């Protein structure tokens, strides 16, 4: 399976992705940068407001987003996600967890499973989705795994990443609620927030443009 770096490089060779990037860049220039500030505010608002615990629905599935691992070792951000998932799993024993993320073995989902089992979470509560390489694929594969009505989805990730998770969930017709890995927002992650805002602007503007011109192939890539 490709690494995240290889996957990102393939996206930058995709003519539809480049089409969306060109349109969003043009609008950014024409707006004098105000367009980017809007997306930055949007990402920041989600990051600051996201709760760390959620009143469950029925049945409730917690989607734990993976993150790149070096030699099967989760980095600080991924460890925070796993730690929060372990706390929520203990607090809500009726929840089931979908562990998201592929990559070279051990996959991100396998790493999360190993860490959670070591914390006493029963393996039978864990469902692994280990084929995806980005957030959109995470949610698309989760949708296929959990096809059915009445499912309450909780999207667990770092605060800076949650706006992207919510955006793609909406694109795929999923109803998800954000849950933050960190207890509170910290400006130490401000650089990552800047990147997320630029990425969200690129994809959202590209999607809106594809709708406007009726570009079905572009739309299919985010649905």
Which domains can be identified in the chain, with CATH numbers?
4-47+189-220 (no CATH), 50-187 (3.40.50.620)
What's the CA gap between 203 and 223, in Å, rounded? Answer: 12
Q: Which residue has tokens 């070591």? A: 118
- Single out the residue of 144, 153, 65 nearest to residue 101, CA to CA: 65
pLDDT digits (tens, 9 = 90+) for 193-206: 999 999 999 999 99
Q: Length of the chain, please?
A: 223
pLDDT digits (tens, 9 = 90+) for 52-67: 988 877 778 999 999 9
- Give helix 15-30 / helix 34-49 axis angle, nearest 10°: 110
Is-contact 99 93, C-beta < 8 A? no
Percent of the chain with pLDDT over 90: 77
User: pTM of the prediction?
Assistant: 0.93
156 φ/ψ angles, rounded to the nearest 5 degrees:
-105, 120
**Residues in Cβ contact with 140 at an 8 Å cutoff, skipping those fewer than 6 apart:** 132, 172
**Residues in Cβ contact with 72 at an 8 Å cutoff, skipping those fewer than 6 apart:** 106, 110, 111, 114
How would residue 152 be classed by pLDDT, with cut points 50, 70 and 90? confident
């Amino acid at each position: 399976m490709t690494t995240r770096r290889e996957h990102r490089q393939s996206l930058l060779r995709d003519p539809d992705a480049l089409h969306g990037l060109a349109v969003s860049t043009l609008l950014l220039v024409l707006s004098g940068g105000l367009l980017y500030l809007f997306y930055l505010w949007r990402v920041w608002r989600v990051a600051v407001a996201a709760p760390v615990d959620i009143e469950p629905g029925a049945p409730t599935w917690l989607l734990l987003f993976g993150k790149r691992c070096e030699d099967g070792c989760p980095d600080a951000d991924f460890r925070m996600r796993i730690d929060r998932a372990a706390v929520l799993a203990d607090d809500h024993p009726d929840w089931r967890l979908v562990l998201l993320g592929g990559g070279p073995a051990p996959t991100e989902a396998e790493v999360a499973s190993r860490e959670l089992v070591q914390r006493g979470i029963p393996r039978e509560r864990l469902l692994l989705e280990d084929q995806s390489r980005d957030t959109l694929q995470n949610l698309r594969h989760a949708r296929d795994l959990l096809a059915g009505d009445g499912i309450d989805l909780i999207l667990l990730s770092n605060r800076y990443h949650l706006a992207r998770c919510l955006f793609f969930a909406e694109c795929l017709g999923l109803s998800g609620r954000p849950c933050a890995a960190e207890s509170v927002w910290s400006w130490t992650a401000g650089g990552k927030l800047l990147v997320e805002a630029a990425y969200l602007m690129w994809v959202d503007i590209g999607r809106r443009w594809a709708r406007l011109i009726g570009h079905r192939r572009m739309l299919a890539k985010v649905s």
